Amino acid sequence: MSIAVAKTRDKLIEVARQLFARIGVENTTMNDIAMASEKGRRTLYTYFNNKKEIYNAVIESELNFLYKSLEMVAHKNLPADEKLLEFILIRLESIKNVVFRNGTLRADFFRDIWRVENVRKSYDLKEVAFIQGILEDGIRQGIFEISDTRMMAVVLHHAVKGLEVPYIRGTLPGFTSSDKSGTSSIINLLFNGIKRK
């Protein structure tokens, strides 16, 4: 894809994101996107066949932002337990930022989570791979003792996904990068479980 083509596609996606955030996905038409982008309907339909395709592209664009944040954490030179905690905190905060930056898309995120989940599938696999890499580093560093890192990565991924909505809504008490008490409870649960030693 040429630079000009990529720029045009990115502009269409950003204009659509802004319209979706301001007036909602259902209330935005392809014509609205074409007019707001100043590209015309023919150009818009060259890149996207329908609103569902451009909606998916908007979600993918937002997930790319999340993926890049997680990739930076995954490549940091930290002990695996610290890296895993930072990974979880950055992930939750990035998801929250994406949801809040998108105005009325926030309502769509909560109302139509399955549509968002469908787009997220490939990103979920990348995230599981990052977590698995962190766990394997932890085994090499003598921090973790795990027999099946793939399975544990999948479980941790789903556990963190389960925290998204409470975190976004602010109903997950004490779990922030600035509140060490709540965070240490989560660390203790992740690393030590609930069984008495």
Asked whether residue 69 falls in the same domain as residue 45, the answer is: no
1 inside domain = yes
Asked whether residue 76 falls in the same domain as residue 129, the answer is: yes
Tokens matching residue 129 = 């791979």
pLDDT at 153 > cutoff 90: yes
**Amino acid at residue number 175:** F
Tokens matching residue 178 = 């600035």
Q: Which residue has the higher pLDDT, 5 or 62?
A: 62
Asked whether residue 110 falls in the same domain as residue 180, the answer is: yes
Asked whether residue 69 falls in the same domain as residue 152, the answer is: yes
Instruction: State the pLDDT at residue 108.
Output: 59
Asked whether residue 123 falls in the same domain as residue 184, the answer is: yes
Instruction: State the pLDDT at residue 164.
Output: 82
Instruction: State the pLDDT at residue 183.
Output: 62
197 inside domain = no
Asked whether residue 161 falls in the same domain as residue 71, the answer is: yes
113 pLDDT band (50/70/90 cuts)?
low
Asked whether residue 66 falls in the same domain as residue 31, the answer is: no
**Which of 49, 39, 52, 31 is CA-nearest to residue 12?**
39
The CATH number of residue 64's host domain is 1.10.357.10
| Torsion from C-alpha of 181, 80, 96, 174, nearest 10 degrees | -10
152 inside domain = yes
Instruction: State the pLDDT at residue 56.
Output: 87
Asked whether residue 89 falls in the same domain as residue 173, the answer is: yes
187 inside domain = yes
**Which of 162, 148, 173 is CA-nearest to residue 91?**
162
pLDDT at 159 > cutoff 80: yes
Give the model confidence (pLDDT) of 68-109 as tens digits. 989 999 999 999 988 998 898 888 888 888 877 776 555 655
Domain tally for the chain? 2
Contact status, residue 81 vs residue 138, Cβ threshold 8 Å: yes
pLDDT at 112 > cutoff 70: no
The CATH number of residue 9's host domain is 1.10.10.60
Asked whether residue 5 falls in the same domain as residue 83, the answer is: no
Q: How far is CA 151 from CA 67, 75, 77, 131, in A?
A: 21, 21, 24, 11
Residue 25, domain extent: 1-49
Asked whether residue 62 falls in the same domain as residue 86, the answer is: yes
Asked whether residue 141 falls in the same domain as residue 85, the answer is: yes
Give the model confidence (pLDDT) of 1-43 as tens digits. 678 778 999 999 999 989 988 888 888 999 999 999 998 899 9
Say how far apart CA 46 and CA 155 lie, in whole Å: 41
- Rounded to two decimals, what is the model's pTM? 0.78
Tokens matching residue 179 = 């509140």
Q: Residue 46 CA to chain centroid, in angstroms?
A: 28
Asked whether residue 91 falls in the same domain as residue 168, the answer is: yes
Share in percent of the chain as helix, strand, coil (round to 5): 75, 0, 25
